[in-house]
């Protein structure tokens, strides 16, 4: 018997994506970041989240598969990536959706790409991302 999976629907680099709710800590509006000298280009800086220093990454180019122009974004989705928290830049947050796990198709099994897969939502193919995988690939 397959279970249900709750997903936060977001847009990253113009592409519809979903992040498992089990990995989402919090969604915050755009905040001022403190820059980190010599950080990789995907690391925009760090933010103070209730006394905890949380790095913020922009992985939209990696997820969208094309260059994302400028630093314009609306929200940060703070996720659990392994034992750490990381803020991911997203263009927009749309909704929370429950899907059957069996509805998530895994084309990566054929192509060797990591990640949970894709799910159809209305007319969109939504990329279900694993925070650990995209952070590792973009870092």
Query: What residue segments make up the domains of the chain, in order of their start?
Result: 4-138
For residue 108, the number of C-alpha atoms closer than 13 Å in the C-beta half-sphere is 14
CB atoms within 10 A of CB 129: 26
What is the pTM assigned to this prediction?
A: 0.84
Query: Whole-number mean pLDDT of the chain?
Result: 85
pLDDT above 90 (res 21): yes
If one compares 120 and 109, the residue with the highest pLDDT of the two is: 120
Assign a CATH topology to domain 4-138. Answer: OB fold (Dihydrolipoamide Acetyltransferase, E2P) (2.40.50)
Biggest distance spanned by C-alpha atoms of the chain: 49
pLDDT above 90 (res 83): no
> Which of 27, 25, 15 lies closest to 127 in space, CA to CA?
15
pLDDT above 50 (res 1): no
pLDDT for res 95: 92
Beta-sheet pairing, 52-57 with 84-90: parallel
> Is residue 16 within 8 Å of 118, Cβ to Cβ?
no
DSSP letter assigned to residue 68: P
């Amino acid at each position: 018997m397959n279970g249900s999976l709750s997903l936060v629907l977001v847009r990253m680099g113009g592409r519809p994506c979903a992040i498992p709710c089990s990995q989402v800590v919090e969604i915050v509006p755009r905040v001022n970041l403190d820059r980190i000298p010599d950080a990789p280009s995907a690391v925009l800086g760090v933010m103070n989240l209730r006394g905890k220093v949380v790095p913020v990454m922009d992985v939209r180019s990696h997820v969208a598969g094309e260059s994302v122009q400028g630093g314009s974004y609306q929200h940060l989705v703070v996720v659990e990536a392994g034992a750490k928290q990381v803020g991911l830049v997203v263009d927009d947050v749309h909704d929370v959706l429950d899907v059957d796990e069996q509805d998530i198709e895994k084309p990566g099994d054929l192509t060797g790409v990591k990640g949970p897969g894709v799910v159809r939502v209305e007319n969109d193919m939504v990329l279900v991302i694993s925070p650990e995988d995209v952070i590792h690939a973009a870092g």
